[in-house]
A and B are shown apart, each in its own frame.
Chain A
C-alpha cells in the first residue's frame, strides 16, 4: 500500500482509517519505522507547516494529532521490537502559577509529530520539577510555556535552576507563549524562543540531533 494514504487520512483527521491502514501496512510486511516516518510523521509535518502558515487552525491540528496517536498505538509494539528509538527526548510544561495549556499541548503534539518523545509535566510546573525530570529522564530539552506576563518570569528561574544543576548547555531551555519575545529570551539567557508550535518542534529536533 501507499503510505501516502496514511498521511492523507491523518491530515483530515480520519483516526479510525489511519489505525486500520497502519495495521494493514504492518500486515503487508512494511517496517513500523517506515510506516511511522512516511505515513504518520509525514502527515503531521504537513499539518505543522499549514498551521504555521495560518492555513489551518487548532481544531484541524487536534483531530490530526488524535489520528496520529491512534496510528502510533498500533505501531508501538512493533517499533519497540524493531528497536526504533525516538529522535530525542524532551520535557514540557506550563510554568508555575500558570494553568493555560492549550498552547503547550499544541507544541507537544507538533513535537510528537516530529518523532520526539515528550514528557508532559502538565501545568503549574515548578522550575526544580523541570530540571529534575530532565536529569532523571535524560531529556535534552526543557520546554516552558506561559501565557501570563506575571508567570513568564518563572522561565528565568528554570534557566537558573539548570545552571545550578551544572547542566547549562547540556540541557537546553526553550521558551514560548503569547507574551514571550526574543528580547525576553535574551534577557533571561534561555537557549531558544520560538513563536509557534511548529517552529518549536523543529528547534527541539535540532537540539536533540
Chain B
C-alpha cells in the first residue's frame, strides 16, 4: 500500500511577522494579532491551505495564561478562543482539521525551576479548554525541551478526548537541552496514549534527520516532523528577511520522508516552503 504523509503547515510565528513587516505593523508577540490583526492570521492560514496543508495550527503557541497576563491586559481565554476560531474560519468549507497549538511555559518545572506540576497542569487545562470551546480538532504540543512538562501537558490534553501530537526540540546529539533522549521521550509519553510524536524547530532539516530516523526506529507511533527553514539571516533591528531557501529546505528534508507520517515547517518557513514540500511529498508517495 502506498504510504500517505500528512502535509502540515509552516511557521505561524515568523510567518505572521513577515506579514506584519510587509504591512508596516509593529512586531509583537504573535498571539496579540488574533485580536488586533485578525486578517493577518486568517490570511496566513489561507496561504497554507492553498499551498496544500492538510492540517493547520492555531496561532496560540505562546498564548498561555501567565504569558498573556504578563505581556498584555487581554483575557488569555479570549486570545486562545479567537486564535482557534480564526483558523476554523480559514478552513471553513474544507475538511482540514485545526490543531490547537501549545508551547512550553517560559519557566522550568520543579525540581529544576519553580513551577509545580499542578500549576503547569492548570495552565494547560485552561489553554485547552478555551481552544476546545472554539472547536479545535486536535492538540499539537510543540518545541518542548522538558519531557516532564510535556507529559503534564499531554495528560491534560488527553482529558478532552481528542488526538494529541507531541514534538520536542533537540540538540545535535539527539537529546533535548534538558538531557532527554529520543528513547526517554518515547518511554515517557507513549503510556499517555498520544497520537503522534517527533521533533520541531531546533535544527534545520539536514541536522534533524538522524533524530527523526531514531524516532521511527524506536516507536510505532506516527512520526511528526516540523524542522526550521534553516538559520534565519536577520537585519540589524532583528527583523527577518527572506533569506531562506525553499529548494534547499526540501532537498534537505527528502531523506526524512521514509520515516515521517506528518511533515511541515517551523521557524522561517512560509507557504512557498509548504508548496515545494507538497511536490516532494507527492513525488515520494507515488514511488513508495
Contacts and interface: CB of A to CB of B under 8 A. Distances in A.
A148 B61 CA distance: 13
Contact of A100 (B106, B179, B235): B106
B175 A183 contact: no
B238 A150 contact: yes
A122 interface: no
B27 A150 contact: yes
Interface in B176-223: 176-179
A151 B235 CA distance: 12
A58 B178 contact: yes
Nearest to B179: A57
Contacts of A102: 106-108, 113
Contacts of B234: 149, 152, 179, 181, 183-184, 187
B36 interface: no
In this complex, which of B17, B108, B240 has the most chain A Cβ atoms within 10 angstroms of its Cβ? B108
Contact of B240 (A57, A101, A149, A187): A149
B74 to A, nearest CB: 16
B177 A99 contact: no
Contact count band on A? 20 to 34
Contacts of B176: 57
Interface residues of B, number: 32
Contacts of A148: 29
A151 B238 contact: yes
A102 B171 CA distance: 16
Contact of A57 (B14, B106, B108, B178): B178
Given A60-B179, A62-B112, A187 B236 contact: yes
Contacts of B113: 102
Given A57-B178, A60-B179, A181 B238 contact: no
B242 interface: no
Contacts of B238: 149-156, 179, 184
B67 A99 contact: yes
B70 A99 contact: yes
A149 B171 contact: no
A29 interface: no
A67 B239 CA distance: 41
Interface string A44-83: 0000000000101111101000000000000000000000
A60 to B, nearest CB: 7
B25 interface: no
Interface of B: 14, 17, 27-29, 67, 70-71, 106-108, 112-113, 145, 171-173, 175-179, 231-240
24 contacts: A54-B172, A54-B173, A54-B175, A57-B175, A58-B178, A59-B112, A99-B70, A99-B106, A101-B106, A102-B106, A102-B107, A148-B29, A149-B234, A150-B27, A150-B29, A150-B238, A154-B238, A155-B238, A179-B238, A181-B231, A183-B233, A184-B236, A187-B235, A187-B236
